[in-house]
């Protein structure tokens, strides 16, 4: 519990230190998923545990610590002494977690129809050669997210119709 409070405090401190200026999305065209992306649940498959679109499911998003299980089509498992890659969502618009090596934090925006957009995320800069590939793929994937689908136990982040990352609900215990 103490680690969650500390992570929340660090996230709030980082948010307070961010420069105020025009949003980066104001300078470029917004990307909007097609209607099919926001109304069609994921196709069932052997690795797809998510069957319910997010619409109104944001309370489920905030209810869990989400452990990364797949990114860019590749399964992810903790290796050695690396912290498990995960995300934590804090109402109304903050996200924190770990890439498996470095901590990350930033903000996100929930829009109608299960749309989700992450701000550019800040990460620490520790040298971790083993999990670096997972970190790179995760940060790149989060930058492409357009929609999300969530159940009590699983979270899928999508760009168009492609799943870019899958997460499983994990107990919200002390940070690894």
d(Cα 37, Cα 35) in Å, to the nearest integer?
Answer: 5
Q: What is the reported pLDDT for 78?
A: 64
Residue 164: phi and psi, rounded to 5, are -100, -20
pTM of the model: 0.66
What residue spans define the domains of the chain?
Answer: 2-15+33-170
Who's near 133: CB < 8 A, 6+ residues apart?
A: none
Q: What is the reported pLDDT for 9?
A: 52
Q: What is the reported pLDDT for 6?
A: 47
Q: What is the reported pLDDT for 5?
A: 54
Q: What is the reported pLDDT for 73?
A: 95
Q: What is the reported pLDDT for 27?
A: 37
Peptide bond into 92 cis (omega under 30): yes
Q: Please name the CATH architecture into which domain 2-15+33-170 falls.
A: Beta Barrel (2.40)
| Paired tokens of 114 | 């299960």
Instruction: Please give the C-alpha separations between residue 95 and each of 59, 62, 135, 165, 167, in angstroms, as whole numbers.
Output: 14, 10, 16, 15, 14
In this structure, are residues 121 and 104 in contact, taking their beta carbons and an 8 Å threshold?
A: yes
Distance of CA 85 to the CA centre of its chain: 10
Instruction: Report the largest interatomic distance among the alpha carbons of the chain, rounded to a whole angstrom.
Output: 45
Q: What is the reported pLDDT for 21?
A: 38
- pLDDT values of the chain reduced to their tens digit, one per residue, 176 residues: 455 554 445 554 444 444 433 333 333 333 333 323 333 444 433 344 444 444 447 889 999 999 999 999 999 986 544 578 999 999 999 999 999 889 999 999 999 989 999 999 999 998 877 667 889 999 999 999 999 999 989 999 999 999 999 999 987 655 54
Q: What is the reported pLDDT for 155?
A: 97
Q: What is the reported pLDDT for 141?
A: 97
Where residue 11 falls (left for φ over 0; alpha for ψ -120 to 50; beta otherwise) is alpha
């Amino acid at each position: 519990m103490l680690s969650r409070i500390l992570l929340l405090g660090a996230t709030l401190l980082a948010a307070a230190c961010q420069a105020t200026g025009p949003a980066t999305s104001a300078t470029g065209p917004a990307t909007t998923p097609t209607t099919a992306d926001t109304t069609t649940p994921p196709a069932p498959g052997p690795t797809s545990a998510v069957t319910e679109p997010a619409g109104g499911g944001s309370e489920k998003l905030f209810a869990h610590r989400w452990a990364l299980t797949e990114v860019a089509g590749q399964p992810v498992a903790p290796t050695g002494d690396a912290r498990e890659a995960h995300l934590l969502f804090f109402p109304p618009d903050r996200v924190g977690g770990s890439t498996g090596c470095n901590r990350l934090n930033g903000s996100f925006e929930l829009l109608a129809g299960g749309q989700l957009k992450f701000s550019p995320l800040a990460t620490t800069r520790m040298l971790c050669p083993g999990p670096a590939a997972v970190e790179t793929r995760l940060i790149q994937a989060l930058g492409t997210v357009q929609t999300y689908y969530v159940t009590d136990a699983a979270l899928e982040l999508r760009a168009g119709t492609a799943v870019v990352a899958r997460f499983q609900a994990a107990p919200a215990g002390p940070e690894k």
